[in-house]
Chains A and B, each alone.
Chain A
Amino acid sequence: MSMTPRERVSAALKLEKPDRVPVVPNLTPISCAHLLGWSQAKIALDTNAALESMIKVYDEFGPFDGVNPVVCCTTNSLLLQGHKVKIPGKNLPEDVPWQMVEEEILKFEDYDKILELGATKFWTNELVYRTSDEIKTQRDVTKLLHAEISFYLKSFKEWYKRDTVPMIGGGGSHPFFVLSLCRSMVKFSEDLYYHPDKVESVIASMAKEYIPIWIKICKATGVKMAFFCEERASATIYPLKIFERFWWPYTKQMVEELWANGIRSWFHLDTCWDKNLPYFLELPKGSAVIALDGTTDIFKAKEVLGGHLCIAGDVHPSLLSLGTPEEVEAYCKRLIDEVGGDGGFILSSGCEVPFACKPENLRIMVETGKNYELSKQ
């Protein structure tokens, strides 16, 4: 008997074997607008249009077993996280996706302010005003927050209506990644090397502060999955001694406390994590999903973490953009056979469905996920 999307996703998360692999492409308004032939300017600032683009793509290319609207998929969200953003139609051409401008928006001396005020207070009282000339008052910040919350609540209603699973209830980025983005990677690397104690104390304080907030949001949305974004802490960039001191202990602490509250962590892991994979065995069994972007060797990840944590991924953005449907189909079949195997796997795009994704490639990825395994039974 075939499973419902909720049962299918739930089985994969529990490391069980569903009737077939769940299909959860990581959609964002950027790729959805492009797939629909809409301009990027149309969805960059209008959250209603952004949500509409995702729903239309779901209806046209779906249904999918789950949708994974990453927490940073709107420009409002980026501003609230303390980043400058270039917007299509304003300071980028209309058909170019919005992009974050990485610069040293957070100064070294701000570390003390974070320790004194707490990250949330420092961000909303001070940092967010540095991101845009249009954010001048507390009212502007509140307006952004309301738009963002309304986007998520509306999207949940739409996904529930379609009997699909919204994968993410709350969460955000690891403090390490937050600081790296706001300080800029080069400055943050200098801080890690030349001022390690200061950075460590800030990360510890942010982790402690984030945990109850993430738990509260996941409980409020009713989706027991925290998004845990990290694109820089892997051995692609940092030696294991940095990872072991500044990233892993706080990750473990956060995951364990979330898990104690019945909440899983969805690790959105970009770059290559091959050397870091064994550490994840220290997490409680079934407490997290490791979503890979096509750079980490997902087949090795299966060997290391299979039967311990659920794995998601990893059709590479360049394959979805430049590959043929036959190539996409062949890769999805390989994933289902070799990584899906005995369960604990979710078929997804590597990172997000990219801007330049060919419609026929998204379609074949979804169709292969839905039919290949069942056709073999």
Chain B
Amino acid sequence: MIIINNMKEFINYHLIVKFVNIKFTIRIKIKNFLNKIQGVKEMSEELAINLAELERDKVYEEVKKRAEEGEDPLQILNVCREGITIVGEKFQTGEYFLFEMILAGQIFEEVVSILEPYQAKATSVESLGKVVLATLKGDIHDLGKNIFATLLVANGFEVFDLGVDVDLILLVEKVKEVQPDIVGFSALITSVFDPMKEAVNLLEENGLRSKIKLMVGGGVTTPAVKEFLGADFQTTDAYEGVEFCKKIMGVK
């Protein structure tokens, strides 16, 4: 009996120990998992904050490290997008100017190029929307358009930047092919007003105008230019432009 009792105790003891061990192991595993999640979150926040603080060397170092460790490049990119969102918020409150947005955009562009070799490992994600951008024929200025394009990409849009001095037929063909949600014209000189109007007419003739939202931006544009083109939106402010695109796509 004693043996039996002892056996019982032995079994009970071992069962309890095992149970405790399992509990302990599970607890440890959960704790590790939570730590890991928390760690990832903390790291993410730090990476995003570093980007928002324009600490480019720290950002590049962290992005390289995480990509080499096998993290999904899109996940890394999304963290950097969080940084761009913080920059946008700071811009909105007046803490940041276009200056900081340009710098953040440059960091983001470099991050994209660092991650390029790792893209095969990337999971696919849906973009917020498609935007075709162009500076039309006769105008070769691209500074504002490039800044805007970078910010759109950083905010999750798929951008088809046709460049400068863009032929109107090429624009129409590209809009047919890409079927964008938004088309944006950039203008710095008044000589491009008429080509922009011609482009709008061509989009209408091809049954494309009603399928897109049309925006126009650039130093020489005003509400009068919006009216002249029958555009949906006009701005000289890249951030406002991104906000318009988000609104069109129903993103807050």
Check: A131 CB closer than 8 A to any chain B CB. Answer: no
Which of B98, B106, B224 lies in contact with A323, CB distance below 8 A?
A: B224
Most buried by A among B54, B141, B191, B193: B191
- Report B-chain residues with C-beta under 8 Å of the C-beta of A93: 137-138
User: Is residue A221 contacting chain B, with contact meaning CB distance below 8 A?
Assistant: no
**Is residue B103 within 8 Å, beta carbon to beta carbon, of the partner chain?**
yes
A271 at the interface (CB under 8 A from B): yes
**Does B127 belong to the interface (CB within 8 Å)?**
no
**A308-343, CB < 8 A from B:** 316-319, 321-323
B206: shortest Cβ distance to chain A, in Å? 24
How far is A189 from B165 in the complex, measured between Cα atoms in Å? 26
Cβ of A190 under 8 Å from chain B: yes
0 or 1 for each of A147-178: is its CB under 8 Å from B? (1 = yes): 00000000000000000000000000000000
Q: What's the Cα separation between A194 and B55 when bound, in Å?
A: 10
A189/B102 contact (C-beta < 8 A), A93-B138, A239-B97 known: yes
List residues of chain B with CB within 8 A of the CB of A29: none
Question: In the assembled complex, which residues on chain A have CB atoms less than 8 Å from the CB atom of B103?
Answer: 189-190, 193
Chain A residues whose CB sits within 8 angstroms of the CB of B97 once the complex forms = 235-239
User: How many Å lie between the Cα of A318 and that of B146 in the bound state?
Assistant: 23
Give the residue of B99, B106, B220 whose beta carbon is less than 8 angstroms from that of A239.
Answer: B99
Considering only CB atoms, which chain B residue lies closest to A354 in the complex? B190
Q: Are B99 and A242 in contact (CB under 8 A)?
A: yes
Q: Does B71 contact A (CB under 8 A)?
A: no
The complex places the Cα of A268 from the Cα of B198 at a distance, in Å, of: 33
Q: Is A356 an interface residue (CB 8 A)?
A: yes
Asked whether B138 lies within 8 Å of A96 as measured between CB atoms, the reply is: yes
Q: Name the one of A99, A193, A194, A319 contacting B224, with C-beta atoms under 8 angstroms.
A: A319
- Any B CB within 8 A of the CB of A86: yes
Say yes or no for B236: interface residue by CB 8 A criterion. Answer: yes
B25 at the interface (CB under 8 A from A): no
Give the Cβ gap from A98 to chain B, nearest Cβ, in Å: 10
Q: 1/0 per residue B133-146: CB within 8 Å of A?
A: 00001111101001
A355 lies within 8 A of chain B by Cβ: yes
Tell me whether B224 and A318 are in contact (CB under 8 A). Answer: yes
Are B190 and A186 closer than 8 Å at their CB atoms?
A: no
**A345-377 interface bits toward B, Cβ cutoff 8 Å, 1 = contact, 0 = none:** 000000000111100000000000000000000
What are 25 pairs between A and B in contact, CB < 8 Å?
Answer: A92-B138, A93-B138, A96-B138, A101-B140, A186-B102, A189-B99, A190-B103, A192-B99, A235-B97, A237-B97, A238-B97, A238-B99, A239-B96, A316-B222, A317-B190, A318-B190, A318-B193, A318-B221, A318-B224, A319-B222, A321-B193, A323-B224, A355-B191, A356-B191, A357-B190
Footprint of B on A, CB under 8 Å? 86, 92-93, 96-97, 99, 101-102, 184-186, 189-190, 192-194, 235-239, 242, 270-271, 295, 316-319, 321-323, 354-357
